Amino acid sequence: MTTKPYLEEADIVYLTGLVGTERFSRGESIRSHHSHDESFHRPSLPEAVLWPENTGEVSRIVAYACERGIPVTPWGAGSSLEGNPIPVRGGIVLDLQRMNRLLAVRSEDFQADVEAGVIYKELNRILEKEGLFFPPDPGAAATIGGMIGNNASGIRSVRYGATRDYVMRLTVVLPDGQVIRTGSRSRKSSSGYDLCRLFTGAEGTLGIITEATVKLMGLPAAFMAVRATFPSVGDATRTVFEIMRSGLAPGAMEFLDADIVRVLNRDRGLQLEECPTLLMEFSGYSERGLEDEMHFVTEICQANACLLLDRGIGPEERKRLWEIRHLTHESIRRAHPGLLSLSMDVAVPLSRYSGLVAFIKKTVVDLTAYVFGHAGDGNIHVVVMDNPDDETRWAHVEEAHRRIVRQALALEGTCTGEHGVGLGKRGFMAMEHGESLETMKKIKALLDPRGIMNPGKMFP
């Protein structure tokens, strides 16, 4: 993609003066690293990359960019799957990974103050010593700022919800460089508009999040991990609905089709039964309480023709089980060297989940596709491996994508459950949001009249 050059020599001199030569780069390899994420979307080079170290530096950089009309794209870890951080208009990328300080752990309030560049897995390693954790778990080594910008969720969303449920306060640099602070440390408030929720999920199009106060949860005392296999996809997905309807509260509930299990076996040296599979986790105060829950889970699974129920997995095996699930995308890609992935991410009401999975399986039958997802909250991922340079093949992939998203919307779902809009879902925004999309555009125009913040995203 060809972009208009925005940086002149005077801009380079000024910006270098703000952060120093060690934190300003126009090097080819650095720019290339910040030109793409984990998606198939074509790379787009920024003109420069800067590494600010505090909110004041971010503010000064953005204020200057606004004055000069220079596009600004915030960067967390680059692990997104919809082209969210690709600098499609060039300009500058602000890499926030040096803003990675844990500012405070307030154990008595179940809160932590963090900078945007803190990686959530590292945060949880520290919090574990306090018997606490930050529940959203997207799997990749994502930063807190990136998770807030994308409203990430992951395998534990069925019980704990998404990132927006844990955002209490934010420090945000607006597109003109102004710094605002939203929210409070109180666990509830009826005061004014909820600006924390406005910026959460905005993908950096309304401002740059530099600090956050996030809510924490106590680590459960006991866990029970369960792996259940079924003769058909319908048996597995029907079980999901019935477990949720029963009043049980799984901490995680993942669906894997047989093709996914086959890839994991080959890539990870496993010997799992290659059938439609549910991975579930339950947690509580005692092992005895979990045993009581397992009686109900066993009855529901057996009533749906369950072939195997592997339960009572110990802590190490439980950790390995979820690690394997987190590496699903990597295993799929390694099974198809030379191909790129289009990752579809839709969500529907739980009662429609089984029907949509059946529709998806029929839609992708002629493609190299893998179906899995966070079944407990109606989220489905479809990863298709193919060659975007083969126009005929890729047109078939994109048509399958359109059909699946349209079906999810027809079932009163959403075009993206957790990966965000980015570049890949812009074309579905009007279909999903109707007239309310115009209100979103007005908010964008009000806060970012020059259109410099992560341009080219969110809106068709």
48 has which bridge partners?
Answer: 92
- Mean pLDDT (10-residue bins), the chain, 460 residues: 80 97 97 95 96 98 98 96 95 98 97 98 96 92 96 93 97 98 95 97 98 96 90 95 90 94 92 94 83 90 95 73 83 94 94 95 96 94 95 95 98 96 96 97 98 95
In this prediction, residue 429 carries a pLDDT of 97
Cα gap 374→141, rounded to integer Å: 18
Domain 102-218 in the same topology as domain 9-97 = no
In this prediction, residue 314 carries a pLDDT of 65
Please answer whether residues 276 and 232 qualify as being in contact, where contact means their C-beta atoms are separated by less than 8 angstroms.
yes
pTM equals: 0.94
Cα distances (Å, whole numbers) of residue 186 to 183, 189, 216, 296: 8, 7, 13, 38
Nearest to 250 by CA among 301, 293, 193: 293
Cα gap 231→233, rounded to integer Å: 7
Look up tokens 């989220």; give the residue: 379
Cα gap 342→43, rounded to integer Å: 15
Domain boundaries, the chain: 9-97, 102-218, 222-328, 336-436
pLDDT in tens, 242-276: 999 998 889 999 999 999 999 999 998 888 999 99
Residues counted in the chain: 460
Please answer whether residues 420 and 150 qualify as being in contact, where contact means their C-beta atoms are separated by less than 8 angstroms.
yes
- What top-level class would CATH report for the domain 222-328? alpha beta
Four-residue CA torsion sign, 230, 251, 319, 340 = positive
9-97 — its CATH code?
3.30.43.10
In this prediction, residue 313 carries a pLDDT of 64
- What top-level class would CATH report for the domain 102-218? alpha beta
Annotation: CATH topology of 336-436? Alpha-Beta Plaits (3.30.70)
Strands 72-75 and 24-25: unpaired
Strands 72-75 and 92-95: parallel
